[in-house]
Amino acid sequence: MSLRNSPFRRSLRIGVIATALTAVLATAACGGTTRGGEDSAGDATGQATGQANPNAAIKEGLKIAFLPKQVNNPYFTVSDNGGKSAVEELKGEYKEVGPSEANASSQVSYINTLSQQGTDVIVTSANDPNAICGALNDARKAGAKVVTFDSDTKPECRDAFVNQATAEGIAENQVKLISEQIGGEGKIAVLSATPNATNQNAWIELMKKELTKPEYSKIELVTTAYGNDDDQKSFQETQGLLRSYPDLKGIISPTTVGVAAAARYLSGSEFKGKVALTGLGTPNQMRAFVKDGTVKAFALWNPADLGYLAAHVGASLASGRITGAEGERFTAGKLGDYTIGKDGVIVLGPPTVFDSGNIDQFDF
């Protein structure tokens, strides 16, 4: 079973706009030009300009680099390997570089180096929307196309953003899952990744909005803790949450690192099976905790497909097939056809929910 076969995916992805995600981002004026200068990538407002040629051949030998939030996170290993397979299909040169810790500014020096190396496409997931903006725009001025995936920078600092699902869809899914698991009533907490992560903050804001719906009126979000996408810190923060709120009914951890660490803590504690835990996790990291009864259900998209799509978007930008403008259409190899939404956002598709009934069908 694959996310690609989801009946919802094709209908939702076309023209879907991650309005909430982009709405929280401020605007600033910066543009970019393509390497060789044959077409322009953006005007002073960051809007794509220039003509796309949907029939342009994908250039061979494109240097496409992946710069994740951090390199030692299994989620990004899977996503970047998906990118690698696309780059190989497209006869480009793939590389992955990045920090071992997901710090706000730790990605800047990597962007500068990639730019100096004449990289054609930088695909990155932002630890902080502002910290990398200047370096990305310098790279664009030097000729690189910039694709964010997973976690965006500001729209004017990149050519396109490949979003894993709409931020609204993720927030709805997470709140629904925890509500089902705590019987629609009680105190909950969020265990997030880093405090500045664009994706996490957009999801948390929308979860708060979702919780104002009448059906969730008996659920109280008491706090948000930050595990920094670090296993040990996430483990300790979980322990801290349960000390501070002994009557906590559930935790939402919308990070693969956080939810796995929280599950490990709960499974070895008196709270196992009593405090609910859901979030965004990889099936391989969560399998044991679903089997031992610590976790009932959690969600994620296919990270490999996300990286694969991002590489296709980058190659299409660098080849002049698309400019990142709303309404442009393109084909992303085995994933099929996509349409670019507002602010250069392309949506992979809705998340999949994993539980004891289906988790063994997934291997990532």
**150 contributes a contact to ligand RAM by CB under 6 A:** yes
Binding span for ligand RAM by CB under 6 A among 29-37, 68-76, 132-140, 266-274: 68-76
**287 contributes a contact to ligand RAM by CB under 6 A:** no
Cα 159 from Cα 165, distance rounded (Å): 18
Select 226 or 330, whichever has its Cβ closest to ligand RAM: 226
Kind of pairing between the strands at 297-300 and 352-355: antiparallel
Binding span for ligand RAM by CB under 6 A among 24-32, 69-77, 91-99, 308-316: 69-77
Q: Which of 255, 294, 302, 323 is in the footprint of ligand RAM by CB under 6 A?
A: 255
**280 contributes a contact to ligand RAM by CB under 6 A:** yes
Across the beta sheet with 63-67, what order do the strands follow?
A: 93-96, 63-67, 121-124, 145-149, 160-163, 345-347
Kind of pairing between the strands at 63-67 and 40-42: unpaired
Cα 58 from Cα 311, distance rounded (Å): 12
- Residue 222's contacts (CB-CB under 8 Å, 6 or more residues apart) are 187, 188, 189, 245, 248
**69 contributes a contact to ligand RAM by CB under 6 A:** yes
Select 110 or 330, whichever has its Cβ closest to ligand RAM: 110
**151 contributes a contact to ligand RAM by CB under 6 A:** yes
Residues 312-331 that bind ligand RAM (CB under 6 A): none
Provide Rg for the chain, Cα atoms. 20
Select 229 or 343, whichever has its Cβ closest to ligand RAM: 229
Q: Would you say 150 and 18 are in contact if contact means Cβ atoms under 8 Å apart?
A: no
Number of residues near ligand RAM (by CB under 6 A) = 13
Cα 191 from Cα 298, distance rounded (Å): 14
Cα 346 from Cα 342, distance rounded (Å): 9
Binding string, 24-63, against ligand RAM, x = CB under 6 A? ----------------------------------------
Report in angstroms how near the CB of residue 126 gets to ligand RAM at its nearest: 9
**229 contributes a contact to ligand RAM by CB under 6 A:** yes
Select 75 or 308, whichever has its Cβ closest to ligand RAM: 75
Q: Which helix (H) or strand (E) holds 11?
A: helix 9-13
Report in angstroms how near the CB of residue 36 gets to ligand RAM at its nearest: 33
Distance between terminal CA atoms of the chain? 12
Select 311 or 322, whichever has its Cβ closest to ligand RAM: 311
**148 contributes a contact to ligand RAM by CB under 6 A:** no
Report in angstroms how near the CB of residue 325 gets to ligand RAM at its nearest: 26
- Residue 359's contacts (CB-CB under 8 Å, 6 or more residues apart) are 283, 286, 287, 290
SS3 195: coil
Q: Would you say 64 and 92 are in contact if contact means Cβ atoms under 8 Å apart?
A: yes
Q: Which of 257, 263, 286, 311 is in the footprint of ligand RAM by CB under 6 A?
A: 257
**340 contributes a contact to ligand RAM by CB under 6 A:** no
Select 96 or 229, whichever has its Cβ closest to ligand RAM: 229
> How many residues are present in the chain?
364
Q: Which residue is nearest to ligand RAM (CB)?
A: 75
Cα 129 from Cα 93, distance rounded (Å): 27
Question: Which residues on adjacent β-strands are paired with residue 252?
Answer: 190, 278
Q: How many CB atoms lie within 10 A of CB 44?
A: 11
Q: Which of 75, 216, 226, 354 is in the footprint of ligand RAM by CB under 6 A?
A: 75
Residues 177-216 that bind ligand RAM (CB under 6 A): 193, 199
The residues that touch ligand RAM, with contacts defined as CB under 6 A, are: 69, 73, 75, 125, 150-151, 193, 199, 229, 255-257, 280
